A and B are shown apart, each in its own frame.
Chain A
Amino acid sequence: MIPGIISGLIFAASLYLIFAEKLNRTITAIAGAAAMVGAGLALGFYSEKEAIAAIDFNTLGLLLGMMILVALLEPTGFFQYLAIWAARLSRGRPVRLLVLLGTVTTVLSMFLDNVTTVVLIAPVTILISEILGVSAVPLLMAEALLSDTGGVATLIGDPPNVLIASAAGFSFNDFLTHALPIVLVAWLTALLLLRYLFRTELGKQPPHADAVLKLNPAEAFNDRTTARQVLIVLGAAILLFFVQDRLHLSPAFIAVSASAAALVWVRPAISDTLQRVEWSVLIFFAALFAMVGGLEAAGVLRAVAALVAQAQGVPPVLLGMITLWVVAALSAVVDNVPITIALIPVIEGLGAAGMEIRPLWWALALGAGFGGNGTLIGSAANIVVASLSERTRTPITSALWNRRGLPVMLATCAVASVLFVLAYPWLSR
């Protein structure tokens, strides 16, 4: 009982610190993990060995491998090239620009880290808006919202998906056959809703549409040779993801091997490349795993699972819906990674109690992914876009996000709920 209370308090305090932005999330996770292991050793419910074993190296390996590939691609100007190409194609028409930039960002973020994608596309978006003479706000918000929504479609699109795939044993193809169709409908809903919400801004014809036609995408592409090499390796890795089941390869192995191949081929200045890897994210994950491992060892998550399992009378479809909305609401206010890491053992517990849990994994993925759209701090991509816009003349405020982002979250979650009910038999397979 005491270990349960202590470990629960450590986890709750950590979530609170992250939520209230009192302390950086990585620092919080490291301190929380240390406190958890310390309490575990003192009270005898958790050991150092168990803490190390709780770290999911499959998740870390996949993230590290993909981060290295992006780190190699980042300085080549490839992202800049794509954004400018999209701007030219739009001929400066606001709605077309929103659709094209939103699509480019989404497609990139389905295979690469959302944050990196947004970090690289957003400054070019501000450039395009300024020379056109239009507000960058609708475009920036659309990029964050659409990339977060689209990221749910693939195993590698979103960190919660990586976690869920690793725990549930889902393959890359499972995501394409189960999550992608739902995400596609939700994504289109989000796009149409954004078109409606920003109808005033998008209704104005930009005064300087010809300026974007004078932008030369080729000049923005600094290093084609490296970009080609990395894209070939990335393409090969994605092909391997498709056949990973048949070859019995883990996503982590594919990603790390791909990064190794790219590093050998490109032979970059390795310290520069490694500097672009987001170590704070990797350490955040590792520390969270160690912290949540303590919660599990103390029996808290088993108790939660037992509590949920008592609701046997609840129809499984309803349980899935509740999961989706609760996770979405939590993800809107707290980082979705700790939520996902904490819920994984709970769902596993329900599975051990004999419940059908495959649909619950999908509900978790959809809720964690779409929930982040709700507030400015809901996802890392939102935070990046907002903090970048703070350095411009038209900053995105929290109030604005609540008026334009929250409806998108509610609409995508509603669409996901309907499709979840309709596709329930398919999601159980």
Chain B
Amino acid sequence: MTNISDCMKPNVVSITASASIGQAAALFAVRHIGTLPVIDSTGRLVGLLTLRDLLALVMPDFVRLMEDFDFVHDFGAVETRRPSPETLSRPVREVMQPPISVEQTCGLLRASALLRHHDLLDLPIVNPDGRLVGIASRVDIGTALLASWRTTPEGGTP
């Protein structure tokens, strides 16, 4: 039986809770990632920062208030909205989410369900001490799960 440790990436890009939102944004852009685990000085996972949390800083209010905005072809003034320098200098702990994580023994279907339920792109993996040891994306987990569907030439599952 495969579990999450078989598909996780052991090298994780992470950030500390006192780093600024601006530093986090730069790290997202340079490393081309969707989730930044937030850790304390001992490497324990204390939060999650996602692309979504940062984009929320510039997202128009109407996106949350309207049922449908397909008819808006040009976002006009909000298209070029940027967070203020004061916002960018605030620590990431102010915008991060609670630390959702699993241990290495977690099954793939459970991991997939957690991602779906918490609407996350990536799932951090921690050891029993709560220290970050890896991360797996939706695609990593989903494709690993689908790989187990492959049937043998006889028609049964391997």
Contacts and interface: CB of A to CB of B under 8 A. Distances in A.
A351 interface: no
Contacts of A207: 77
Interface string A53-67: 000000000000000
Interface stretch (A10-18, A209-217, A264-272, A275-283): A209-217
A10 B62 CA distance: 43
A3 B149 CA distance: 78
A216 B25 CA distance: 35
B70 A127 contact: no
B62 to A, nearest CB: 4
B77 A127 contact: no
Interface residues of B, number: 17
Nearest to A209: B76
A391 B76 contact: no
Given A124-B66, A219-B70, A208 B61 contact: no
Interface string B44-79: 000000000000000011101110111111111110
A127 B78 CA distance: 10
Contacts of A206: 77
Interface string A180-222: 0000000000000000000000000011101110111101101
A326 interface: no
Interface string A111-125: 000000000000110
B65 A208 contact: no
Contact of A123 (B62, B70, B71, B76): B62
A49 interface: no
Contacts of B68: 222
B73 A130 contact: no
B77 A215 contact: no
Contacts of A219: 70-71
Contacts of B72: 127, 131, 215
A211 B61 contact: no
A153 interface: no
A84 interface: yes
B71 A126 contact: no
Most buried by A among B60, B71, B75, B77: B71
B64 A130 contact: no
Given A127-B72, A219-B70, A133 B61 contact: no
Given A123-B65, A126-B61, A393-B61, A214 B78 contact: no
B57 to A, nearest CB: 10
B66 A84 contact: no
A196 B71 CA distance: 33
A126 B77 CA distance: 13
A130 B77 contact: yes
Given A123-B62, A126-B62, A391-B65, A208 B71 contact: no
Contact of B77 (A124, A132, A220, A391): A132
Interface of B: 60-62, 64-66, 68-78
Given A216-B71, A216-B73, A391-B64, 17 more contacts: A126-B62, A127-B65, A127-B72, A130-B61, A130-B78, A131-B72, A131-B75, A131-B77, A131-B78, A132-B77, A211-B75, A211-B77, A215-B71, A219-B71, A222-B68, A388-B65, A391-B61
Top 10 nearest A-B pairs (CB, nearest first) are A211-B76, A133-B77, A131-B76, A208-B76, A219-B71, A127-B62, A392-B61, A123-B65, A208-B77, A214-B74
14 contacts: A126-B65, A127-B65, A127-B72, A130-B62, A130-B77, A130-B78, A131-B74, A131-B75, A133-B77, A206-B77, A208-B76, A211-B75, A222-B68, A392-B61
